[in-house]
Structure 1
Amino acid sequence: MFQMQNASSQLEPECVNFVDEYPDLTNEPIIMGVFFVCYLHIFVLGLLGNLSILYLTMKYRHLQSVQNIFILNLAISDVIMCLTSLPITPIAAIYKVWFFGWPICKLIPFIQGTSIFVSTFSLSAIAIDRYNLVVRPHCHPLGMRGVSIVAVCLWIVALIICIPCGWYMSITEYDRLCGEYCTEAWPIDEVRKGYTLLVLVMQFLLPFSVMAICYAAIFFRLRERAEIKLKKLSERAQLLENSTAGAVTLVNKEDDNSSPSQSVEVKQKLMLVAQQRRTTIILASMVLLFGITWLPHNIATLVMEYNTALIGEPNMYLITMTAHLISMLTNVANPFLYAWLNPSFKEMLFKTLHGAKEFRGGAKFSSSYERKDTIIRNMDTKPVSFNAQEDAF
């Protein structure tokens, strides 16, 4: 009898895998493949976009302006996010077991949180800086020393806020479950919930409010200036038309119903309206992109924090991974919205690519590139335009 009990106990496994004991949709091969492809694209595109911003800013000194320092700060935080959050978070969410040891368990949440806070703080700083340039052009602008101090302060504040993220993380082992688990071990649940609310306010609500208010004020100011310029164009065209009315012959009136001044006026109005539309789209995209990408992640975190019954739900990991994936789209969108729509970055990118292609292909490529570059610069040079600060949009 004793031998039979001993044999049966040896057949029983010492532990079981979490994914075998509690399977969920993230362990389905199709869903794993979809997440792998999406995360891989975000990882590659995010790194290429942000590293190219870092390279161009460091290489070309005239790109090291006050506004571009905030963009540089944003690119650094996005690169850190790509290197830490993108590879490790989906692995931990799919396999549920922590493979990376105790030091990484402490460091990764701290580094991830800091990079996310710096990214959102930098977006707020860019919005405030553009607000001052457009809405308050006569106020004392920040110099390079001032903007460098602000950038460093953003990192310090982010580091301080994220200290609990690493402090209360620990490696835990559970009975009957194989492997180690990196989990939060807060001494008081109310403190953890309060910290979650603080993160929600500081990382999402405050930056979103700042961006919405600043870009709304910029939009209304630019629209006001556009209306004034349209009015001046109409008045100027009317004066030109009245001054040249006596010189227009009857034949010209029959052949062409519009004078040259009217055609110029129409072209300038169309260009001004097109530029205003472009600015509106960019400003709206900046606010909407931030809200759409980060809102699901914050809602999922808040609901899980205050409704512990959801922890046992089989779809919890799928929801949190989807929300995290959506939030990581900012790593790809930020370089495009805040750098590549800027004519200076675009021109330096073409110049850098031209240098590399010329080195490989010889002087034959030079003439064709010069023609393209001339066209691009001529497209960016508008007869009727806002000031340089407004053109940055």
Structure 2
Amino acid sequence: MELQQSTNHNQALSKEMPLNFLEDCSPSLSGTTFLIVAYSTVMAVGLIGNSCLVFVITQHKEMRNVTNIFIVNLSCSDILMCIVCLPVTIIYTLMDHWILGEALCKLTPFIQCISVTVSIFSLVLIAMERYQLIVHPTRWKPVVGQSYMAVAVTWIMACLISVPFLPYSVLSLPFHNLSMHFPGSDQVVCIEDWPSLPKRRAYTTFLLIFQYILPIILIIVCYLNIYLRLRRRRDMVERSRNATEKKNKCSMRINTMLIAIVVAFALSWLPLNVFNTVFDWNHEAIPFCSHDIIFSFCHLTAMASTCINPVIYGFLNSNFQKQLKSTLLRCRCWGVAERYESVPLSTVSTEVTKGSGVHFVRYKGPKMPEELLYSSDT
């Protein structure tokens, strides 16, 4: 989540600061430039990559299975992060104070918490769906309609979990208690103003457990059981050499990719979760002048998770690459067709007929091998 120091903590810090703290602790120009470039890069890659992933999956009916619906849900939460939270972070980093008003002060951490919660819940749903299909293939199987209901539930739960950010995110003047005046002392910041420190700590601990620890444990249990089941199945295949060997290899590739997404997500959000927990329970452990540097590193690492989904799922997956090329060729040929339609009939020649034949073949696109599709049978 976006770190917002409490009013009481800011007041305590302002009393203890030396008079030259602005000079000693102010961010360097090179550091600020690096953060802006890094955040902008993450935002661009995350927005473009996830948008392409959502577009390709929604445009091809054969890819609309339960797993891919959850993948799309994960991408949508990342897109929300890129559209709302990352631009605000860039502006906040550049200006070094809050200029976006009280509404965005409340909505930004609220939306960011929703996005993170939806992302981790989507990963849990994917793990549970794969577990049900592989470990218990003869039992109940989730269908597409039920997956849409699960997606709706994740967003509702995420909104409920994130509600405390709305009343407790406020604008504040952190140095208003100082009798002296200095440049920047009247600048507004966006902070979390909780009724008491125990309540703030309780909510931080709640998020750490239900937004990170428990989901990761559940995902590990699911994929561990999947691995053991596929290993036993592989041993049986090696003895019998039946027709299921190809299907097992496909399942293993899919699960390896999904596990990579989970591991990357967990590692990305680990530093920020540790930072938030340490800060709320013992903020003195973090040196004042190192606070912004440490937080920026942790927060940037967490925001990089928005790029994980399209990179691992898309660029490392031949099926997605083929579908993306097919979609781009289709869009290109639609543009060619529109140009042909705009040509007067008197200028139409045999070359146009030949060209239209070419674009019809390219419109069709390459046919995917059946085993590369992420169907619900694997």
Task: Provide the residue aligned with 2:12 in structure 1.
Answer: none
Contact 1:63 1:345 in 2 (8 A): no
Residue identity in the other structure for 2:268: T
Q: Select which of 203, 226, 238 maps to 1:218.
A: 226
What 5-or-longer segments of structure 2 have no aligned partner? Answer: 1-19, 337-354
Q: Select which of 188, 193, 214 maps to 1:185.
A: 193
Q: Verify: 1:145 aligned to 2:145, yes or no.
A: yes
Contact 2:247 2:371 in 1 (8 A): no
Task: Provide the residue aligned with 1:289 in structure 2.
Answer: 264
Task: Provide the residue aligned with 1:194 in structure 2.
Answer: 202
The 5-angstrom pairing of residues 7-46 of structure 1 reads 21-23=21-23, 27-46=27-46
Contact 1:25 1:31 in 2 (8 A): no
Question: 1:209-266 deviations in whole A, cap 9, x for unaligned?
Answer: 1221111211222222222222223x99xxxxxxxxxxxxxxxxxxxxxxxxxxxxxx
Contact 1:70 1:125 in 2 (8 A): yes
Output the CA distance in 2 between the equivalents of 1:26 and 1:130.
49
Q: Verify: 1:101 aligned to 2:101, yes or no.
A: yes
Change (3 A) 1:136 1:333: same
Task: Provide the residue aligned with 1:354 in structure 2.
Answer: 329
Output the CA distance in 2 between the equivalents of 1:273 and 1:135.
12
Question: 1:71-116 deviations in whole A, cap 9, x for unaligned?
Answer: 2211111111111221212443564311101111111111111111
SS at 2:274 equivalent: helix
**Cα RMSD (Å) of the superposition?**
3.4
Q: Verify: 1:313 aligned to 2:288, yes or no.
A: yes
Task: Provide the residue aligned with 2:75 in structure 1.
Answer: 75
Change (3 A) 1:99 1:230: same
Question: 1:164-203 deviations in whole A, cap 9, x for unaligned?
Answer: 1121011112323122111111111101001000010111
Output the CA distance in 2 between the equivalents of 1:364 and 1:45.
36
Task: Provide the residue aligned with 2:16 in structure 1.
Answer: none
Output the CA distance in 2 between the equivalents of 1:286 and 1:37.
25
Q: Verify: 1:373 aligned to 2:366, yes or no.
A: yes
Output the CA distance in 2 between the equivalents of 1:371 and 1:51.
22
With the length of structure 2 as denominator, give the TM-score of the two structures.
0.77
Task: Provide the residue aligned with 2:300 in structure 1.
Answer: 325
Q: Identity over aligned residues, as a percent?
A: 28
Q: Verify: 1:167 aligned to 2:167, yes or no.
A: yes
Number of matched residues?
335
Q: Verify: 1:209 aligned to 2:217, yes or no.
A: yes
Change (3 A) 1:83 1:372: closer
Output the CA distance in 1 between the equivalents of 2:89 and 2:374.
44
Output the CA distance in 1 between the equivalents of 2:151 and 2:331.
32
Output the CA distance in 2 between the equivalents of 1:198 and 1:44.
32
Change (3 A) 1:31 1:312: same
Question: 1:279-314 deviations in whole A, cap 9, x for unaligned?
Answer: 574354233212211110100111111112256611
Please state how far the C-alpha of 1:152 moved relative to its aligned partner.
1.0
Change (3 A) 1:63 1:273: closer
Change (3 A) 1:272 1:26: farther
What 5-or-longer segments of structure 1 have no aligned partner? Answer: 1-19, 237-267
Please state how far the C-alpha of 1:353 moved relative to its aligned partner.
1.4
SS at 1:183 equivalent: strand
Please state how far the C-alpha of 1:324 moved relative to its aligned partner.
1.0
Decide which structure has the larger Cα Rg and report it: 1
Change (3 A) 1:381 1:54: closer
Change (3 A) 1:23 1:100: farther
